[in-house]
Structure formats: C-alpha cells, structure tokens
Amino acid sequence: MRGIIYFIVIVLSNAVGALSGMGGGVIIKPVFDLVGIDPVASVSFYSTIAVFTMSIVSTFRQIKNGVALQWSVAKWLVVGSVVGGALGNVVFSWLLSTMQNDVIVKGIQIILMLVTLVFVLAYNRYRWQSWQLQGAMSYFLCSLVTGFLSSLLGIGGGPINVALLMLCFGMPIKLSTVYSIIIIFASQLAKLVAIGFDTGFAVYELSVLFYIIPAAIIGGILGATLSKIMPDSKVSMVFNAVVLLVILINLYNGWQLFVG
C-alpha cells in the first residue's frame, strides 16, 4: 500500500513540478510528511530520488522540445548547485545527528520551507523589478543558495529557483523553469553522492524505489509534454496555485507537529 500511495503522489507531483519548474519535491516532501509513513531521513531520500529522476527526464524532454539554452550560463548554475547541494546535505546530516529528534528537524524544514514559499508567492504577486545581474559569479552564487536550500529541505528547490532566476536575471518563466530543472538535477546528484559517502544507501528500504523511479519518469514526461503546449500565462497560474497549496499543507503539518 505504501508503494502505491507513493507512486500516485510522485506521478502527480512530478507532472506539476516538471511543468512549473518546481521539480516535484516541494510537493512530494510535505505530502509524504502528511502521510507520515517514514521517518524524516527516509522521506528526504525518497523525495530526492524522485526529483532527481524527474529532472533527468524533464531536461532531455525540454531540450528535445527545442528550448534554447546558454551553456555558458548552465555551466555555472550546475557548479553552484553541486556545491550548494553537497553543503545542504552536510547540514542536514549534522541536524539529524545533533538534534537526534525527527520532530525538531522536520519543524526546521517546515519553517524554512514556509519562509521560502512566502517569498516566492510575494514575488509572483508583486513582480519586483529584475536586478538584471550578469556574470559567472552571479550565476554561481544564485545556484549555490538554491542548491543548499533544496538539499537541506529535500524538496528539489524549484519554486525558489524559478523566482530567483526571474528576479536576479530577468528570465521569462518558461526559460527559468528549464534552468531550474538543471539546478535541481545537479543539486540532487550532489546530495545522492554525499549520502553514498556518508551513510550509504543500505540504511533505506530500497524496494520502495521500484515504485518511486517509474512514477518519477512518468511524471517528468507528462510535465514536459504539458509545458510544450501550455502558454506562459497558464504555467504561471499553475505555479502560483501549487505554491499556495503547498504553503497550506506545510501549515497543517506544522500544526500537527507542534500542536496536534
């Protein structure tokens, strides 16, 4: 039953994530927390696998769809997100070992996620003037921040990726979603490598991956296909609606964690 629940959640989440540039993890992580089947470390790992798989599928599909990328930009986004992803996993592992309490770690994740999502929602509402930054260091630092947060929170980081890319560099939403998926791929790869060297993968129930990986592939293909046919205005509407929904889910999870 757990595998089927995870399969359904991941297909739907990754479809929306690939379409909007969110990466699926921002939906998967709080929904997995809501279901409450696995501890926080396992939820973070399963979410990372799902988002990483989706990012591979979606990136190839987007390029096949004819989206033009500046590889000089993508290169620095990848480097920054790899460094940020590795750092985020180090901090996550430190929190788990120091706190030795899933409730505290989950609470920290919920609070940080709410702060980032409120920022994203505010940006999309008020559309602050773009800073029009340029240069390798700007791309590196932007993806370093997003890669760190995505790895620490186990969400992929798509919403903050899209908002920051638009704010910092003035990218249109569809182009920023493609670069966002690239950032997600690199940061989650870095996190998986870090997990491999830290605890290894044997500590997790790997049989669940037989449900997670196919679901992530299906969701990624579906989302990339929808992205090809939907106009920017519709993509933006989906993005805002899902961000608001995820904020509400996180508020409920926080209430259940600290009050319920």
Given this model, what pLDDT does residue 163 score?
84
Give the start-end residues of each E strand in 106-191: none
Phi then psi dihedrals of residue 111, to 5 deg: -65, -50
CA distance 26 to 14: 10
Supply the pLDDT for residue 226: 80
The amino acid at residue 36 is G
166: closest CA among 101, 122, 106?
A: 122
Q: What is the pLDDT of residue 65?
A: 66
pLDDT of residue 144: 92
One pLDDT digit (tens) per residue for the chain, 260 residues: 778 888 998 888 878 876 765 667 778 888 888 877 788 788 888 888 888 887 787 777 666 766 667 878 889 999 998 898 888 888 988 988 887 777 888 888 888 888 888 888 888 778 788 888 888 999 999 999 888 887 888 776 677 888 888 889 988 877 887 888 888 888 888 888 888 887 788 888 888 999 999 998 888 788 777 877 877 777 778 777 888 888 888 898 888 887 75
Cα distances (Å, whole numbers) of residue 29 to 46, 63, 130, 150, 209: 9, 27, 30, 11, 15
Q: How many residues does the chain have?
A: 260
Collect all residues with Cβ–Cβ distance below 8 Å to 133 and sequence separation of at least 6.
142, 168, 169
Surface-to-core class of residue 214, CB atoms within 10 Å of its CB (0-12 exposed, 13-18 middle, 19+ buried): middle
How far apart CA 243 and CA 260 sit, in angstroms, is: 24
Q: Can you tell me the distance from the alpha carbon of 89 to that of 194, in angstroms, rounded to the nearest whole number?
A: 7
Residue spans of beta strands (DSSP E) within the chain: none
* Positive or negative: CA dihedral 77, 82, 84, 89: positive
* Per-residue pLDDT, 140: 94
What is the spatial distance between Cα 221 and Cα 56, in angstroms, rounded to a whole number?
10
Q: How far apart are the first and last CA of the chain?
A: 25
d(CA 54, CA 67): 17
Place of tokens 């770690």: 105
DSSP-assigned letter for residue 70: -
Q: Quick one: pLDDT at residue 23?
A: 62
Q: Identify the pLDDT of residue 129.
A: 84
Q: CA 24 to CA 154: how far, in whole Å?
A: 11
Residues contacting residue 181 through CB under 8 Å, at least 6 positions apart:
18, 21, 23, 55, 58, 59, 62, 158
